[in-house]
Chain A
Amino acid sequence: MEGERRASPERSSGLPARGADGESPGGGGPLLRSRGSSALLQVDVLDLDEDEDDLEVFSKDASLMDMNSFSPMMPTSPLSMINQVKFEDEPDLKDLFITVDEPESHVTTIETFITYRIITKTSRGEFDSSDFEVRRRYQDFLWLKGKLEEAHPTLIIPPLPEKFIVRGMVERFNDDFIETRRKALQKFLNRIADHPTLTFNEDFKIFLTVQAWELSSHKKQGPGLLSKMGQTVRAVALSMRGVKSRPQQFMEMNDFIEIFSQKINLIDKISQRIYKEERDYFDEMREYGPIHILWSASEDDLADTLSGVASCIDTCCKATEKRMSGLSEALLPVVHEYVLYSEILMGVMKRRDQIQAELDSKVEALTYKKADADLTGSSESLDCEEVVLEESRFEIYLTEEIGKLEDKVECANNALKADWERWKQNMQNDIKSAFADMAEENIHYYEQCLATWESFLTSQTDLHSEETSEDKP
Chain B
Amino acid sequence: MEQVLFSQVGEPGGLGLEKTLMFLAVWQGVVQRTWLNGGIVENGMTENNFWLKKIEISVSEAEKRTGRNAMNMQETYTAYLIETRRFTELKHYSDELQSVISHLLRVRARVADRLYGVYKVHGNYGRVFSEWSAIEKEMGDGLQSAGHHMDVYASSIDDILEDEEHYADQLKEYLFYAEALRAVCRKHELMQYDLEMAAQDLASKKQQCEELATGTVRTFSLKGMTTKLFGQETPEQREARIKVLEEQISEGEQQLKSKNLEGREFVKNAWADIERFKEQKNHDLKEALISYAVMQISMCKKGIQVWTNAKECFSKM
Interface residues of A (CB under 8 A from B): 255-256, 259-260, 263, 266-267, 270, 273-274, 277-278, 280-281, 283-285, 287-288, 291-292, 294-295, 298-299, 301-302, 305-306, 309, 312, 316, 428, 431-432, 435-436, 439-440, 442-443, 445-447, 449-450, 453-454, 456-457, 460-461
Q: How far is the CA of A443 from the CA of B146 in the complex (A)?
A: 15
Checking B114, B117, B146, B293 against A435 with a beta-carbon cut-off of 8 angstroms, the contacting residue is: B146
Closest to B136 in A: A428
Chain A to chain B: the 9 pairs with minimum beta-carbon distance, closest first: A439-B311, A281-B114, A446-B303, A450-B300, A263-B132, A436-B314, A277-B117, A442-B307, A435-B314
Checking B132, B293, B300 against A446 with a beta-carbon cut-off of 8 angstroms, the contacting residue is: B300
Sample 10 A-B pairs with CB under 8 A, ordered by A number: A260-B135, A263-B128, A267-B125, A280-B117, A288-B107, A295-B101, A295-B104, A428-B139, A446-B304, A457-B297
Closest to A441 in B: B307
Checking B139, B282, B315 against A301 with a beta-carbon cut-off of 8 angstroms, the contacting residue is: B282
Interface of B, secondary structure class, is helix
Residues in A whose Cβ lies below 8 Å from that of B122: 274
Residues in A whose Cβ lies below 8 Å from that of B132: 259-260, 263, 267
Interface residues of B (CB under 8 A from A): 93, 96-97, 100-101, 103-104, 107-108, 110-111, 114-115, 117-118, 121-122, 124-125, 128, 131-132, 134-135, 138-139, 142, 146, 282, 285-286, 289-290, 292-294, 296-297, 300-301, 303-304, 307-308, 310-311, 314-315, 317
Residues in A whose Cβ lies below 8 Å from that of B111: 281, 284-285, 288
Is the CB–CB distance between A266 and B286 below 8 Å? no
Checking B100, B139, B286, B310 against A295 with a beta-carbon cut-off of 8 angstroms, the contacting residue is: B100
Is the CB–CB distance between A436 and B311 below 8 Å? yes
Q: How far is the CA of A291 from the CA of B317 in the complex (A)?
A: 45
Is the CB–CB distance between B128 and A309 below 8 Å? no
Q: How far is the CA of A31 from the CA of B67 in the complex (A)?
A: 117
Q: How far is the CA of A386 from the CA of B98 in the complex (A)?
A: 109
Is the CB–CB distance between B121 and A432 below 8 Å? no
Closest to A295 in B: B100
Checking B114, B289, B290, B307 against A280 with a beta-carbon cut-off of 8 angstroms, the contacting residue is: B114
Is the CB–CB distance between A431 and B317 below 8 Å? yes
Is the CB–CB distance between A431 and B125 below 8 Å? no
Is the CB–CB distance between B304 and A450 below 8 Å? yes
Q: How far is the CA of A352 from the CA of B103 in the complex (A)?
A: 64
Q: Knowing A266-B128, A284-B114, A301-B282, say if A443 contacts B307 (CB, 8 Å).
A: yes
Q: How far is the CA of A389 from the CA of B315 in the complex (A)?
A: 68
Q: How far is the CA of A61 from the CA of B49 in the complex (A)?
A: 102
Q: How far is the CB of B124 from chain A (nearest CB, A)?
A: 5
Q: How far is the CB of B34 from chain A (nearest CB, A)?
A: 23
Q: Knowing A260-B132, A267-B125, A285-B111, say if A298 contacts B96 (CB, 8 Å).
A: yes
Residues in B whose Cβ lies below 8 Å from that of A270: 121, 124-125, 128
Q: How far is the CB of A294 from chain B (nearest CB, A)?
A: 6
Residues in B whose Cβ lies below 8 Å from that of A431: 139, 317
Is the CB–CB distance between B107 and A263 below 8 Å? no
Closest to A443 in B: B307
Residues in B whose Cβ lies below 8 Å from that of A288: 107-108, 111
Is the CB–CB distance between A291 and B104 below 8 Å? yes
Is the CB–CB distance between A302 and B286 below 8 Å? yes
Closest to A260 in B: B135
Q: Knowing A439-B307, A453-B293, say if A432 contacts B315 (CB, 8 Å).
A: yes
Residues in A whose Cβ lies below 8 Å from that of B311: 436, 439-440, 443
Is the CB–CB distance between B286 and A274 below 8 Å? no
Q: Knowing A259-B135, A443-B304, A450-B301, say if A274 contacts B114 (CB, 8 Å).
A: no
Q: Knowing A284-B110, A449-B300, say if A439 contacts B314 (CB, 8 Å).
A: yes
Is the CB–CB distance between A302 and B100 below 8 Å? no
With A294-B100, A428-B139, A443-B311 known, 19 other A-B pairs at CB within 8 A are: A255-B135, A260-B132, A260-B135, A266-B128, A267-B125, A267-B128, A273-B121, A284-B111, A285-B111, A295-B101, A309-B292, A435-B146, A442-B303, A443-B307, A445-B303, A447-B300, A457-B293, A457-B297, A460-B293
Is the CB–CB distance between A306 and B289 below 8 Å? yes
Q: How far is the CA of A431 from the CA of B139 in the complex (A)?
A: 10
Q: How far is the CA of A255 from the CA of B134 in the complex (A)?
A: 12
Residues in B whose Cβ lies below 8 Å from that of A461: 290
Closest to B92 in A: A298
Closest to B294 in A: A457
Q: How far is the CA of A65 from the CA of B81 in the complex (A)?
A: 101
Residues in A whose Cβ lies below 8 Å from that of B124: 266, 270, 273
Closest to A269 in B: B124
Is the CB–CB distance between B282 and A460 below 8 Å? no
Most A C-beta atoms less than 10 A away, residue of B282, B292, B296: B296
Q: How far is the CB of A342 from chain B (nearest CB, A)?
A: 12
Is the CB–CB distance between A305 and B118 below 8 Å? no
Is the CB–CB distance between A284 and B107 below 8 Å? yes
Checking B118, B142, B303 against A274 with a beta-carbon cut-off of 8 angstroms, the contacting residue is: B118
